């Protein structure tokens, strides 16, 4: 069980944005930063984030593109508390934290949305040893958010021609694209990311359009970290230009 008092406040070095994180909890990585930069919204858009964690992606998306509203779903009470604390701290009143499984989204939203984005659990239950900490395990393993459920919910809540953004392990890209197309989410842009020039790509980022035509633009592979693994510089590089 996470203790709400065991928090640290991290400075993103980005126009005074700061993020509370649990000292012993799951912390965001460059995956979240890169996904947030990849997401494109309009000022009038209604957005949904699936599994917001600390709220970092919604906060960064809101910082750069300022959509009309973001509904950020988080099923774990401790992280829903944390996301709300971070949205309030950064004075982002258009981010609403919903403490619920995304499978129950119809209880909270009675309309279709323009944009959905998600940095989901990466690991199948039978492919990686689970963390002893249940809250961290829920962030990393798909026990409570199977890929089928994630993609199905995203498709159903989106408007026709709405956009879905996701980051996923590069090793599962074929499985992901197959399920996306099954749910009428057509990949339109994608790129792979690798931690350093010497290492293989480990994540893939995909933009889909619901009901879109076939044809995907594969962007250049991106190296995510500096030589010492510092993703703060990645944040600064990606978000300093707000145009």
Half-sphere exposure (Cβ direction) of 168: Cα atoms closer than 13 Å:
23
What pLDDT score does 137 carry?
57
List Cβ neighbours of 237 (8 Å cut-off, separation of 6 or more). Answer: none
Half-sphere exposure (Cβ direction) of 201: Cα atoms closer than 13 Å:
17
CA 158/CA 104 separation, integer angstroms: 15
Q: DSSP for 157-171, please give it.
A: HEEEEEEEEEEEEGG
CA 97/CA 72 separation, integer angstroms: 5
Q: Whole-model pTM?
A: 0.89
Cα 79 off chain centre by: 14
Please report, for the chain, the start and end positions of each structural domain, with discontinuous segments joined by +. Answer: 7-239
> What CATH number is given for 7-239 in this structure?
3.40.50.150
In the three-class reduction of DSSP (H, G, I as helix; E, B as strand; rest coil), residue 98 is classed as strand
| pLDDT profile of the chain (243 residues), mean per 10 | 76 91 83 92 98 96 96 95 97 97 96 96 61 57 81 98 97 96 97 88 96 95 67 56 43
What pLDDT score does 107 carry?
96
């Amino acid at each position: 069980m996470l203790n709400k008092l065991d928090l640290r406040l991290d400075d993103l070095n980005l126009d005074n944005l700061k993020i509370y994180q649990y000292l012993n909890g799951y912390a965001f990585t460059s995956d979240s930063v890169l996904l947030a930069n990849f997401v494109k919204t309009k000022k009038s858009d209604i957005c949904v984030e699936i599994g917001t964690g600390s709220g970092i992606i919604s906060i960064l998306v809101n910082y750069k593109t300022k959509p009309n509203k973001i509904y950020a779903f988080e099923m774990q009470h401790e992280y829903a508390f944390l996301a709300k604390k971070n949205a309030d701290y950064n004075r982002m009143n258009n981010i609403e934290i919903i403490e619920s499984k995304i499978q129950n989204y119809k209880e909270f939203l009675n309309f279709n949305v323009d944009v959905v984005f998600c940095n989901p659990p990466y690991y199948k239950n039978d492919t990686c040893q689970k963390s002893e900490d249940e809250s961290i395990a829920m962030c990393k393993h798909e026990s409570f958010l199977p890929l089928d459920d994630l993609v199905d919910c995203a498709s159903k809540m989106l408007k026709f021609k709405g956009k879905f953004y996701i980051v996923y392990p590069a090793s599962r890209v074929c499985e992901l694209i197959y399920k996306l197309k099954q749910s009428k989410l057509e990949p339109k842009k994608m790129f792979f990311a690798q931690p350093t020039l010497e290492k293989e790509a480990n994540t893939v980022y995909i933009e889909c359009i619901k009901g879109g035509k076939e044809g995907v633009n594969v962007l250049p592979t991106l190296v995510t970290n500096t030589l010492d693994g510092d993703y703060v510089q990645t944040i600064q590089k990606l978000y300093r230009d707000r145009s």
